[in-house]
Each structure stands twice: as C-alpha cells, then as structure tokens.
Structure 1
C-alpha cells in the first residue's frame, strides 16, 4: 500500500516544503526501476546491518543455555514452595511478574506451580492457576530485573529514535525505573483483587481431580534430587556474586575501559554494551547450574542449547527481515538535514578547503582572527569552538582545526593544521552513534595528522 501510494504521489508531481531547510522536495517512488534495483542488491546488507538483529541473536545464545539447563524452572519452583496462606497470592503474582525470564514456557511452568502452591495452603488450585495466568499476561512485561527482552526493546527503540536524532542510544536499563515500580504495583493490584473479590467465589472453583494430579506430577518431575538442586542453586548464586564483583572491580578505576569518556558510568562502554554482559551472565549461570545438575554433561550440550534458542526466535527473525527491507525501501532523504545533507564532495576536496581556510588563503586577516578566536567547551578532550570551526589538541603536540558531521548511516571528521597537514575520515556504514565509535573516527584523523607532519613541526 505504501509503495503504491509513493508511486501515485510521485506520478502526480506532489511537492512539499522541507520544514528543516525550506527546500521543496518530491516524493520518491518505491516502485521505480532505481528503487527496485537498490532494494534487491541491498537486501542482504539491509538485513545483516539491522540494529536489533545482532542484539537479539546474541542475547538468546546466553538465555537459551540458562533456560534449557532448568535453572529458571528451579528458581520458580523454589520461590513458590513453602508460601504461607497470607503470602501465597502475592507470591504467585510476583512469580508471574518474573515469568519474562521463562518466555513462552512461563505458562507451562508457573500455572501448575500456582495450582500446587494454593493447594498446599488449603486454597483452590483453580484460583492459583488463574492468578498465575493473569500475572503472566498482565504483569509479565513489568520486570524489576533486566530481562532478555529489554535488550531487544532497547535496540528497536534506538533504531526508531535515531530517525530523529542520530546520537540517541536507548539502553536496556533506561526503563528500569518504570518497570521496577510497575512490577510491584501490578503484583499488589492482582493480590488485592484476588483477596477482596475472587476469594468470595473461591468455593465455586472446583478442580478436576485428574487435571490436578497431572499438574502436580509435572511440577514434581524436576529431573534431579532435592539435595543436588539445592547445591547447584547455591553455587550458581556464588557464580552470580563473583560475576557482579568482577564487573564492579573492573569499573572502579576512572580509566577503566568499561567506563566512558572522563570516567563516566552512565555514558559508558558497560551501559552501551549491556547486551554483551547479559549474554555472558546468562551463559555463565546456565553453564554452572547445568554442569552441577547433569543437564550439561558433554561439550555438545551448550551449542545444542544455543541452537534451540535461535530456532525459537525464527519467527522474530522473519519479522526483522521484513522490517529491514521496509526501511531500505523507504530511506530518509539526506536533504532533511539541510545544508549538511545537500553538499556533495570528496575527502580530497575537504582537505583542500580546510588547508586554504586555516592558512588564511580565503579570508582577510581580521576575519581570520575572528574565525579562530575560540572559547573552551569544557569537553575533556580539550575541544574549543570558534566561528563554525573547532580546535582540538593533537597527541603529538599542537592543535588542529576542523569539524565533524553526521547523518543517519554516515559520519565525517576532518582536520587541518596551520603547517599544512590535512586529513578527512568518512564512514558510510553508520558507525552506530555511540560515543566510543565517534571517538574512533576522530582518533583516526588525529593519527593521520600526526603521521603526516614533519619532525620539525612536532
């Protein structure tokens, strides 16, 4: 429908004014020969470079090991066993809130556990099943912890946000203030409704004896004896503590590679790459628990678990393919960035221009002085700003002058020194908009300028 609409609007000659630049632009037909050719030749690249794809596959490799080792099921069973009559409703509701870690198997695991937990305190197993089912559906996305899906949602949100601002990065932790509070609010609301309303009709909920027995049998069949499971959970907890301690100590030094520029923690490598640390976390706890319980007994087990996990998200990968092709079919015209998106040039042209500009070949002396009269920006890298021109210190001594620019999928950094060195670095496969990757582009310019200077000028 959108493709046909673009063809019709293009054929009608529709023109609109770009609010950012005031230019008049037309509608690009998605069914033109050039558009179809670009779509076909770029289909593979569009899919492979689609932001959420790598995050989802990577995190699932770790989650699959933890889930298929039986760890999540064991935690749910331990959490819901031994609840008192006063806490059973809230306990089952909280179990449903944490069901995100079990993904689709939450229904298979938690609903029978809810029935058994309610029956153990003399209440209707049917009501326990209802509470578990409602909690999974109504509160399953409100999780007080970082779950695998959070990394997916963050990557998808980043793709959408960067359509407006390329520098925006949404992290898996950004929504925790909301989901953490929501988890307890929803669980408390479910418990309140059950205790004040559904309890009055509990005597009408008479379970089928055969189904109740089947549910109980499903819960009891844990695959390992109680002592082994307890020991495995304790040692897995120690592994979690060791992993968290290692990360904390690694981030203590202000110069830690896990921190960001100037020792920042929020804008840091750790926060920007939280999906990597989640993958390692789930892989670690799944491997430890699986080894101790015998679920992982050979070298093939972990790769097989990972393969099963990737197979389970096959429908999502198909969706990602469709979305990536849609985005490729309807790209954003760079003219929305105004002058920054309308200039066509090359690295050598930019070098010649900057060389002439900083060496006073384009402006009168008074104008040149104003151009290069800078004010410090307060940035830790020593950057100062003049009239549309930046100065930055070089690691080999002295300053260089230039500027950076970026747009969706592109980034350019250029610089020149007053003694005649120039360098321009252009990236045309969206570096990802992270500060670290942009810093790498600037560092490449600095390296080229230092290597191109004569020993006398250094």
Structure 2
C-alpha cells in the first residue's frame, strides 16, 4: 500500500537535510569534548596575554585569566586529571540509579508493562493512555521510543486509523515529552551531574538537588497530554487518512502485542512491589523524628536525607519490581545472572562515562583558569535588566536549535551548563530554572531532529506499512508535534515563572 503523502522537497525538508548533513559531520560527543578542552586551553593562553580580570562574585577578590598552556597549567592537568574525573559530582548518583533502572529494563518488566497497559485500556480512552505512557516512558530508558510506536501502530489499525499516525504520535509523546514525568528518573540524574559542577564555578556551595525540577515536570504531563492528543486528532490522523490493511501485505506478529498468563502475573506482582516501596517510603517519612527528615529542622525538603539520597531511593524503586518480575519469569536463576544484569547496566553507560571524563576536565579548566568566572561576570553584565520572559524564550530556543545537531542530552548540557548556569546565577536565576529551560528546549525539537538514534528505527517501522515512505514524509507527520510543543510548553513555563512557583523541592526560581 502506498501513502497518500507525497515526498516534497519543501523548505522544511531541505532545512532538515542540511541539519542532518552538518550533524553527521560533527565528531563523537567524547571527541567533541576533547577538542573543546584543547580549544579552551588555547583560548586561555590568548586571553591571558591581555591580562583580563574581574571581581569574583563569591570572594570579592580580583581574579585574572590564567593560561592552561603554561608551567602551572600543565602541572594542574597532570596532578588533577584523575581526581577531576573520579570526584565529578553526581557521577556515582547516575551509575547507582542505572543499576535499578537497568535491571527493570533487562528483565523485560518495562516492555511488558507498556504492552499490558495498552491492551487493558478502554477503547474510548486508549489514545490518551498511550500518550501518557509515552510521556512517562522516559523513566524506562529506551523502552518507550522502541516498544511503544509499533504497538500503537497496531492499535491504530484496529481503531480504523492510519498506523503511521500511531507511530508518529507514540514517538512524539515519548521523545517530545522527554522532560515531563511524575517520577524522578535517569534524565534528572544525568542533567544534575553537569548542573552541580557548573554552579560551583561561581559558588562553592550551590543549594541544588536531583529533584529540583520535580513539581514542574509532573505538572507538564497534564499540559502535554491534551496538546499531543489535539495534534493527533486535528492534524496527523486527518492528514494521513484511512488505512485499509487488506490492501497491504503485512505480517503482524500478534504474539509481540499479547502477554502470556505467566507474564501478566509477573507484571501484576511487580507493580504491587513498586507501590509497596512507595508506601514504605511515605510511611517512614511521616514521623517527625524520621531519619528521612532534616535532623535539625524536621524538613522533608531542605537538606533532608530523602532528597539528598533520592538516587538510592530511585535505585530501590525500580530495582524491586525488576527483581520481582525477573524472579517470576526466571530471567535469572542465580546470583551470577543478576550480577551480569548489573554489569550490562553499567556497560550501557560507557559512552556517558567517557563523556564525563573529558567534561570533568573542561569544567576544571574553566574553574582553574578563571575563564568561567570572567565569562559569567561579563555575560551577566550584558544580561542585567533583561526581561525574565525574554531570557526564558531565548534559552529554550537556543537549546532546541542545538538539539538538532547533537543528539545526546547529557552531551549538550555538558557544553551549555558551564555557560548558562553561572551566567544566570549572577543575574539572580537559580540553577533549577536554567536546567528546566534547557530541558524544555531539548525536548520540543526531539521529534524532528535527525540526530535522534531512534528515528531510523521509526522509519523502518513506517516502511512496513508503506514501502515508499521516506524520511521527509515521516518528519512531516512529526513536525506538527514540535510546533505545538514549542508553543504550549514555553507558555506554560512563562506562566509558572510569573506566578513565582518553585520548580521542585529545593528548586526556587531565583537565587536567595
């Protein structure tokens, strides 16, 4: 069967083709960070020749840019390189969180949970439920953008809609809503890993935590659901038209969309264990003298073990149902099998660890050379008096454009955090706000960026229903989601900002 959407070399497709070519020519993120370290060393050498200095906002002392290409600079690199890497803030947090999420992912719990929810959802609300699963799926690693689109395509056929509309909707929900969730997950830990050291460029004691965006990302789920649903029903489904499956030679493996009685039972008890863990945490936090509270103030939010140790809580929250599902499905028979799952989870973080090694050196170079302080202070001077709403729009727009060229969210934030965080701190904006603005910008252009590794897979899914489907036609079904998300989500952020609400526990809008 052929699509009723023709491939057109319009301006959007031409623009995305250019983006794809430029993005493909960029080096691997780890090599990119290495080149940035080399470039930064050269910049410090050049700037130091002019004796550029500023007053440090924290100490009040005058600091001058020091050259990394110098006797002291080379000694610093040799003395501190390993320490910069091993002591990189939140590296341990990210790896610990991945232990829990990795087990839940590798036992198959996440995949089967999504299939079960879709199969059991009432037909009248199946589309909103799929959207919610897609948005919440970022807590499940790669499961949502890989498992949900083909499953949704089959559901759409049964509903009488075009399956490619289902592919586009599920993918846009999972990727476009990447920074929205009701749970704190891996993405929060990954970004925090770069936010904390970036804040230390201008402050020795930044008051931040991994959950500081929680209120906003949870509220965003409620906002994004109707936005994605409206685009699907108003534009994507009508544009693709009806689909007659009898005209196409498609072999659909129904077994991949159904759960066996044993799988249903395993998912049920894994879900029970998940909610039991949440209940235990809540019960332990209720007493006024709870060990999860701040020992001096009794607060659950400010400098409390429940916030400071949220990484371990996330580990337990996902590890327990993963273990329950794996045991019931006999995914591991002994401790060696479980140990291999832990090892595989760490192996999947290999690229992140390599990026962190070079990113840690980059941040150390910025701090030691004082170039980070100089850029932040001078940048803050330029931003003084600027309208907060304009800054919000500017950072979101810049982040979304950079996202078209670099796929890795942590790599992009590793580049942008040392620039945005210190600069905006000096004009009064808390790192929680800056990080959230980046997250919005990074998410809204996700559906259309050619650098997203899931896009070729989505195209292969689409070509099962239309062998003539090209990337441009697929992107034309994804573009409406990016356009609407680019309007709705920033507007929601602006309203939130004007109301002055905190973004999460320990995540105010402004530096105190």
1:301 is aligned to 337
Q: Residues 294 and 128 from structure 1, CA distance in 2 versus in 1: closer, same or farther, beyond 3 angstroms? A: same
1:284 is aligned to 320
**Could you tell me which of 72, 82, 85 is aligned with 1:47?**
85
**Could you tell me which of 341, 344, 355 is aligned with 1:319?**
355
1:139 is aligned to 177
- 1:159 pairs with 2:193: no
**Could you tell me which of 297, 308, 318 is aligned with 1:262?**
297
Normalising by the residue count of structure 1, what TM-score does the alignment of the two structures yield?
0.66
2:454 is aligned to none
CA distance in 2, matches of 1:208, 1:184: 37
Larger-Rg structure: 1
**Could you tell me which of 252, 266, 269 is aligned with 1:232?**
266
More strand by share: 1
Once the two structures are superposed, residues 210-240 of structure 1 have per-residue CA deviations (whole angstroms, 9 ceiling, x without a partner) of 78534645434x6xx2x22222222223322
TM-fit CA distance, 1:253? 3.1
The answer for unaligned runs of 5 or more in structure 2 is: 1-38, 374-505, 507-512
**Could you tell me which of 101, 113, 121 is aligned with 2:151?**
113
More helix by share: 2
> Do 2:160 and 2:242's aligned partners in 1 also have CA atoms closer than 8 Å?
no
TM-fit CA distance, 1:147? 1.9
- 1:58 pairs with 2:90: no
CA distance in 2, matches of 1:22, 1:53: 31
Q: Residues 38 and 82 from structure 1, CA distance in 2 versus in 1: closer, same or farther, beyond 3 angstroms? A: same
Secondary structure in structure 2 of the residue aligned to 1:213: coil
> Do 1:287 and 1:296's aligned partners in 2 also have CA atoms closer than 8 Å?
no
Q: Residues 59 and 212 from structure 1, CA distance in 2 versus in 1: closer, same or farther, beyond 3 angstroms? A: farther
TM-fit CA distance, 1:209? 7.5
TM-fit CA distance, 1:274? 0.2
**Could you tell me which of 85, 99, 115 is aligned with 1:77?**
115
> Do 1:116 and 1:216's aligned partners in 2 also have CA atoms closer than 8 Å?
no
TM-fit CA distance, 1:97? 0.5
1:424 is aligned to none
> Do 2:111 and 2:143's aligned partners in 1 also have CA atoms closer than 8 Å?
no
Normalising by the residue count of structure 2, what TM-score does the alignment of the two structures yield?
0.60
> Do 2:162 and 2:237's aligned partners in 1 also have CA atoms closer than 8 Å?
no
Once the two structures are superposed, residues 375-398 of structure 1 have per-residue CA deviations (whole angstroms, 9 ceiling, x without a partner) of xxxxxxxxxxxxxxxxxxxxxxxx
CA distance in 1, matches of 2:361, 2:249: 47
CA distance in 1, matches of 2:119, 2:208: 38
> Do 2:101 and 2:141's aligned partners in 1 also have CA atoms closer than 8 Å?
no
Once the two structures are superposed, residues 29-64 of structure 1 have per-residue CA deviations (whole angstroms, 9 ceiling, x without a partner) of 011122112212221111000012111111111111
The answer for unaligned runs of 5 or more in structure 1 is: 338-434, 436-458
| RMSD (Å), alpha carbons | 2.8
> Do 1:93 and 1:135's aligned partners in 2 also have CA atoms closer than 8 Å?
yes
TM-fit CA distance, 1:93? 1.4
CA distance in 1, matches of 2:173, 2:270: 27
CA distance in 2, matches of 1:137, 1:63: 18
1:413 is aligned to none
TM-fit CA distance, 1:74? 1.2
TM-fit CA distance, 1:159? 2.5
> Do 1:124 and 1:207's aligned partners in 2 also have CA atoms closer than 8 Å?
no
Once the two structures are superposed, residues 399-428 of structure 1 have per-residue CA deviations (whole angstroms, 9 ceiling, x without a partner) of xxxxxxxxxxxxxxxxxxxxxxxxxxxxxx
Q: Which has the higher contact order (CA 8 A, sep 6+)?
A: 2
CA distance in 2, matches of 1:172, 1:210: 49
Once the two structures are superposed, residues 79-138 of structure 1 have per-residue CA deviations (whole angstroms, 9 ceiling, x without a partner) of 111444532322221121022023234222111111122223333222211211121221
TM-fit CA distance, 1:169? 3.3
Q: Residues 212 and 307 from structure 1, CA distance in 2 versus in 1: closer, same or farther, beyond 3 angstroms? A: farther
Q: Residues 7 and 162 from structure 1, CA distance in 2 versus in 1: closer, same or farther, beyond 3 angstroms? A: closer
Alignment of 1:301-380 (within 5 A): 301-332=337-368
TM-fit CA distance, 1:24? 4.3
